[in-house]
A and B are shown apart, each in its own frame.
Chain A
């Protein structure tokens, strides 16, 4: 529909939209993050929700402690191999539609601690990530920009057709396999990244 006509009608008090736009608009402006801070980036996440940077303007102020009530997981901080099963389990417990923001270098790729025997080199080895925010730690403004990117991504989602999101598809599971503790490393299928078989397994 012609944008000028749409604006004209809006000025008269008549709003025309599609179900898709309305659905996406409602979801993107009230993303409830899971209160999930792992390490240093969590402090910048808290600072982003405080008075100076104010994430409440974007509707994401209500941090839920329970994964059952959250729809955004901001993985902020280093994921260690000891913590990885819990992260994946928490993600599995969130109801669809759910999104993951990988905040900080450690969540993207292991960060400065990449050469570690206990550090997981990025959360996208086990979970699908929607937005990556680089930085160590990223400034609160960077987190807000990442949130805006995610909101734009949600606004662009088509509800029908081949590009529909995961939760609109019938047979795509929303849960991912949880890694287990092995004697030398985590064991279990990964989302991406070829496993180089090691001599010990």
Chain B
């Protein structure tokens, strides 16, 4: 491994005169940048000596639109942030509004939130494993298996909320509608099938020598840097830091479920991949408990005025453990029908802070895999 010269190790610094380097732009249209993301990579042969990410190709000014919309009208826009995980985006937003306005949620709604949140985590991690393997060269097969399971989960979402992807399901003070008859039984079946799918998936991939050779030791993220750079989610836990917001904040009713938080040792791409597999197993456990214990009852607090919610002036920051990391919403209310300031704390953008540090010294083929293991969705990075 060639270490880059010291003056090239900080972003924005360095003098390239006299070096025979090649600067290429990867993206925004690229098969493996997971969306419209651009990286200006400076190469010495095939080794990366500098990497500058360029954002903004999907900046849809969600925050400005939210300043004109009512609180309720912003919920469908949150679906479109991290467009693979719409339920958890909804949850983070309604959690922030509930903190701001001081609203309570009935118990059945909390269980439903946990169930759809963990189903979202399952399908997100399965897709991530599929996309990561596709970046490594397994063109299509793991992704096809992952999407097959994802379609079963999307069928559940569709019969629950009416839409496969942009579910718009949560409301302040509860959920929008009750599951139809037979939904819970079907969810139990999907969870059981997912378990055996994971067994096949792991048997197919975990011992695969190409996966191991390309991912072990690649893209190491040290603990101290991960904490200081604000990396959250599976990437942080793969570096060995035990910080899962479901255990720290215990939002919702997560304190009622028994689940473990897997931790990695090396912080390389293989650890981040294994983190997703292990977290899928833990999610299956939580789903089993939630589907067993869900009580009957109302799903929405009837005293909450959804349409003309005007929280008292103040501010609140609500955060959840989304599949990508810490997704937070910071809301400032001035007493009017629309928020004065609406800010999304995007886990994908902040996890990208360390992209350059992880890629320096590796080859350009590894850059693709490291980016894939961070798990970004451009709707969230650029909002």
Query: Is there a chain A Cβ closer than 8 Å to B245's Cβ?
Result: no
Complex Cα gap A109–B359 (Å): 39
Q: Which of B30, B35, B80, B379 has the most CB of A within 10 A?
A: B80
CB-contact partner of B36 in A43, A83, A112, under 8 A: A83
Residue count of chain B within 8 Å CB distance of chain A: 32
Whole-angstrom distance from the CB of B29 to the nearest CB of chain A? 6
Query: Is there a chain B Cβ closer than 8 Å to A139's Cβ?
Result: yes
Specify which chain A residues have a CB less than 8 angstroms from the CB of B150 in the assembled complex.
Answer: 47
CB-contact partner of A137 in B151, B166, B378, under 8 A: B166
Specify which chain B residues have a CB less than 8 angstroms from the CB of A116 in the assembled complex.
Answer: 60-61, 64-65
* Chain A residue at smallest Cβ distance from B147: A50
* Chain A residue at smallest Cβ distance from B382: A80
- Interface residues in A176-201 by Cβ distance below 8 A to B read none
Specify which chain B residues have a CB less than 8 angstroms from the CB of A44 in the assembled complex.
Answer: 164-165
The answer to whether A119 and B61 have CB atoms under 8 Å apart is yes
Whole-angstrom distance from the CB of A118 to the nearest CB of chain B? 5
Whole-angstrom distance from the CB of A81 to the nearest CB of chain B? 9
* Chain A residue at smallest Cβ distance from B27: A86
The answer to whether B60 and A113 have CB atoms under 8 Å apart is yes
Q: Which of B28, B36, B84, B144 has the most CB of A within 10 A?
A: B36
Contact with A along B32-66 (1 / 0, CB 8 A): 00011000000000000000000011111110110
Complex Cα gap A115–B68 (Å): 10
Specify which chain B residues have a CB less than 8 angstroms from the CB of A43 in the assembled complex.
Answer: 83-84, 165
Choose, from A16-24, A31-39, A122-130, A164-172, the stretch at the interface: A31-39
Specify which chain B residues have a CB less than 8 angstroms from the CB of A97 in the assembled complex.
Answer: none
Q: Which of B28, B31, B58, B150 has the most CB of A within 10 A?
A: B58
Specify which chain A residues have a CB less than 8 angstroms from the CB of B29 in the assembled complex.
Answer: 36, 86, 90
Specify which chain B residues have a CB less than 8 angstroms from the CB of A37 in the assembled complex.
Answer: 35
Specify which chain A residues have a CB less than 8 angstroms from the CB of B148 in the assembled complex.
Answer: 50-52
Query: Is there a chain B Cβ closer than 8 Å to A40's Cβ?
Result: yes
The answer to whether A112 and B151 have CB atoms under 8 Å apart is no
The answer to whether B80 and A38 have CB atoms under 8 Å apart is no
Query: Is there a chain B Cβ closer than 8 Å to A9's Cβ?
Result: no
The answer to whether B144 and A78 have CB atoms under 8 Å apart is no
Specify which chain B residues have a CB less than 8 angstroms from the CB of A83 in the assembled complex.
Answer: 28, 36, 57-58
Contact with B along A80-97 (1 / 0, CB 8 A): 101100100010000000
* Chain A residue at smallest Cβ distance from B38: A86
Query: Is there a chain B Cβ closer than 8 Å to A147's Cβ?
Result: no
Specify which chain B residues have a CB less than 8 angstroms from the CB of A77 in the assembled complex.
Answer: 58
- Interface residues in A17-74 by Cβ distance below 8 A to B read 35-40, 42-44, 46-47, 50-52, 65
Q: Which of B30, B57, B68, B378 has the most CB of A within 10 A?
A: B57
The answer to whether A80 and B151 have CB atoms under 8 Å apart is no
Whole-angstrom distance from the CB of A49 to the nearest CB of chain B? 9
Whole-angstrom distance from the CB of A3 to the nearest CB of chain B? 41
For the complex of A and B, the 4 pairs showing the least CB-CB separation, nearest first, are A40-B83, A65-B31, A50-B147, A113-B60
Q: Which of B30, B60, B84, B150 has the most CB of A within 10 A?
A: B60
* Chain B residue at smallest Cβ distance from A41: B83
* Chain B residue at smallest Cβ distance from A83: B57
Q: List 18 A-B contacts (CB under 8 A).
A: A35-B31, A36-B29, A39-B83, A40-B165, A40-B166, A42-B35, A44-B164, A47-B151, A50-B147, A50-B151, A52-B148, A80-B60, A112-B80, A113-B60, A115-B65, A116-B60, A118-B59, A118-B61
Interface of B toward A, CB cutoff 8 Å: 28-31, 35-36, 56-62, 64-65, 68, 76-77, 80, 83-84, 143-144, 147-148, 150-151, 164-166, 378-379
The answer to whether A51 and B144 have CB atoms under 8 Å apart is yes
Known: A39-B379, A116-B65, A119-B60. 14 other contacts (CB 8 A): A39-B83, A40-B80, A40-B166, A50-B147, A50-B151, A52-B147, A65-B30, A82-B57, A112-B65, A112-B80, A115-B68, A118-B60, A118-B61, A139-B164
The answer to whether B151 and A113 have CB atoms under 8 Å apart is no
Whole-angstrom distance from the CB of B44 to the nearest CB of chain A? 25
The answer to whether B143 and A50 have CB atoms under 8 Å apart is yes
CB-contact partner of A117 in B31, B61, B165, B166, under 8 A: B61
Whole-angstrom distance from the CB of A108 to the nearest CB of chain B? 15
* Chain B residue at smallest Cβ distance from A110: B60
Contact with B along A145-179 (1 / 0, CB 8 A): 00000000000000000000000000000000000
Complex Cα gap A38–B56 (Å): 12
* Chain A residue at smallest Cβ distance from B143: A50
The answer to whether B64 and A38 have CB atoms under 8 Å apart is no
Whole-angstrom distance from the CB of B128 to the nearest CB of chain A? 13
The answer to whether B64 and A117 have CB atoms under 8 Å apart is yes
Specify which chain A residues have a CB less than 8 angstroms from the CB of B76 in the assembled complex.
Answer: 112
* Chain B residue at smallest Cβ distance from A38: B36
Complex Cα gap A180–B84 (Å): 32
Specify which chain B residues have a CB less than 8 angstroms from the CB of A65 in the assembled complex.
Answer: 30-31
Complex Cα gap A51–B76 (Å): 28
The answer to whether A86 and B147 have CB atoms under 8 Å apart is no
Whole-angstrom distance from the CB of B28 to the nearest CB of chain A? 6
The answer to whether B379 and A113 have CB atoms under 8 Å apart is no
Specify which chain B residues have a CB less than 8 angstroms from the CB of A82 in the assembled complex.
Answer: 56-57, 59
